[in-house]
Structure 1
């Protein structure tokens, strides 16, 4: 699963790494560093799936004459990643396209035959509120996916269906609600079926990850804790395959950014093999010695993509300080994808603990929002 740290490589001191290891198996240290309970939220991801699905399937949109011909999910940050996963998970199931909009504007094709899911966990995301207004003016069938806020108020005023999810969570910790609520909305719109089976498969796969990666599993037997130690003084670069694999790689990157307060980068195959792979041919040695490459496999890659992953690994692994691979397990594509994603949740959490930082606050985002508020 992992290629470890090489001898003589620069980085954290031996004493610093040992302190990081000890924190990961010290309940008192974990409790001190995680006062808001991010671990509890990560471990509760499996419980969110059925609740999110129930919320979504009750939000029944009005079906246009001739049926829907497009699905658009508008959101930002943790509220948008569910849309990315929805797009990847339904690419081979739906006969209409799914697009994710992270902007104030919506595509020109949005009209009365568009199912428009306005996804804002807080209900106050300015980009999503602006996009929703454009979609409504274009006649789209709007469904609000939110815990409340301005979006919830607008939906109540205008009679839009609402997939109401619980409040009080960091948006990134509400992914199970937002993804499965979106799937429930598709079912309610007559665009998806077999969603209960997807929920059941996913819950089971996430439970297996929790058993293998949870806090009670000690460092010596816990791949997520071991990966966190490797990343303490490394820059992670995450590779996934196109489609849902790209969405998972992006989620890993974002979780490491937000939970670990740590830079990380991502991209996907096969596109990276047409540009980024050449960057490993002669990288600055001081930079290359800090890079840890993480390859993600959903288990559903085509034979050609599998060969490409193997070839890419062979070409790149000699240029970086370390390399690890992870593969999703479970029954069904979505279950395997969510299991792979959930490993990243645990890695990002343990990296925060190993570094001695609180995983929950996102102070730079709060600061940015405060500064933008003064510019209105």
Structure 2
């Protein structure tokens, strides 16, 4: 939105060639299959889940197994009847009791924080549900008689990552909350989602945005409502897919503090505002005014771009934004000449962490 020459969109043939060179784990196929994840998740047989009554729900998970919690809380905020929150820690909160629905979530089934948290529950506890792709957590569920919802990662390409399983996790969490009686039926909204995502013109706009970002540090803004469900997830996708530092914040809060931090040109930033047309009108105005003020002050190390989230429903707009960021971060990785799937630094860290002191 600052004055700058239009970016040349990478030709489809160029990106295809780059994908052949660098997309060794077929992430493009994985992103394209997000609508299929939702269809599969809705069609899967579900275990019998106790219907409470529950006064709260806690979903334990880390990384890609935890992010979908925020998506569910945002997308279905009007349907959830009790407080629901995520647990990203080893220990259970002290207030957990039989009236707490506890969902243990781990894509791999080996997440040590989640394995630690579930240890506090006895066999056949009626308030525990497990969501996993296998591993030790799956074994615990079978041994202790907990309802088990499987993430069917065998349906996906080899190298399928937790961060790419958002469709499976969101459907699983939403169905569990519904079956447990703490949420109104999410299935009509979810059932309409795959067709919308297959038809929405998201990918090309995402690729254009990747070309616009170039070598700058991405910053993602949303309104406060979508801060955790969209902006935070977007930041993580740029970290893990594009292998770049990235940041996120919300308007109007950023206008009261973070904005001042751009006064010194310490780096070049690409600020992307993912705009929900249902946001308060002053949020959009704040973004426009921020861009105008930066231009007047010649803070040219920060460039601005807005993308309107398409969709007739809140669920559609949130998923459109998530798919947009997937394609954008994927294309940015290809343009940088790297494979978007591996997270070697994280794996090295885990290996070091497992070594004895």
| TM-score, normalised with respect to structure 2 | 0.89
Partner of 2:308: 327
Quickly say closer, same or farther: Cα 1:34–1:194, change in 2 above 3 A: same
Distance 1:328 1:177 in 2: 22
Query: Secondary structure, in 3 states, of the residue corresponding to 2:120?
Result: helix
User: Could you say what secondary structure the match of 1:260 adopts?
Assistant: coil
1:297 and 2:279 are equivalent in the alignment: no
Candidates 82, 87, 112, aligned match of 1:101: 87
Matching of residue 364 in structure 1 with residue 345 in structure 2? yes
Question: What is the rounded CA distance, in whole Å, between the counterparts of 2:3 and 2:149 in structure 1?
Answer: 45
Alignment match, 1:259: 241
Structure 2: how far apart are the matches of 1:50 and 1:237?
32
Offset at residue 184 of structure 1 (A): 0.9
In 2, the alpha carbon distance for the partners of 1:343 and 1:120 equals: 25
Alignment correspondent of 2:220: 238
Q: Which residue of 2 aligns with 1:336?
A: 317
Q: Decide whether the 8 Å contact of 2:333 with 2:340 is kept in 1.
A: yes
State whether structure 2 residue 328 is matched by structure 1 residue 347: yes
2:237–2:325 Cα contact (<8 Å) kept: yes
| 1:277 match | 259
What secondary structure does 2:240 align onto?
Answer: helix
Question: Do structure 1's residue 208 and structure 2's residue 199 form an aligned pair?
Answer: yes
**Matches of 1:317 and 1:70, distance apart in 2:** 48
Match of 1:157 among 126, 139, 143: 143
Contact 2:202 2:324 in 1 (8 A): no
Contact 1:103/1:131, CA 8 A, preserved across alignment: yes
Kindly state the Cα deviation for residue 306 of structure 1 after the two structures are TM-superposed: 4.2
- Contact 1:165–1:177 under 8 Å retained in 2: yes
Partner Cα separation in structure 1 for residue 60 and residue 294 of structure 2: 36
Report if the CA contact (8 A) 2:106-2:137 is conserved.
yes
Unaligned segments of structure 2, at least 5 residues: 155-159
* Aligned counterpart, 1:41: 30
Q: Deviations over 1:162-191 (max 9, x none)?
A: 111112521011110001111111111122
The answer to whether the Cα contact below 8 Å between 1:74 and 1:116 also exists between their aligned partners in 2 is yes
Question: Which segment is superposed worse, 101-110 or 80-89?
Answer: 101-110
- Structure 1: runs of 5 or more not aligned: 8-16, 214-221
Equivalent residues, number:
348
Q: Encode CA deviations 1:41-96: one digit per residue, 9 max, x unaligned.
A: 011111111222344x71332233xx111111111111111111112123232221
CA distance in 1 between counterparts of 2:183 and 2:295 reads 41
SS of equivalent to 1:368: helix
Tell me if the contact between 2:76 and 2:186 (Cα under 8 Å) persists in the aligned partners: no
- For the pair 1:52 / 2:41, whether they are aligned, the reply is yes
Which residue does the alignment assign to 1:218? none
SS at match of 2:149: strand
In structure 2, distance between residues paired with 1:309 and 1:195? 32
Instruction: Give the match for residue 232 of structure 2.
Output: 250
1:13 corresponding residue in structure 2: none
Query: 1:94 and 1:212, CA in 2 relative to 1: closer, same or farther beyond 3 A?
Result: closer
Deviations 1:108-137 (A, max 9, x none): 222111111111011111111112223669
Q: Give 1:272 deviation, angstroms.
A: 2.4
- Does the C-alpha gap of structure 1 residues 26 and 297 become closer, same or farther in structure 2, counting only changes over 3 Å? closer
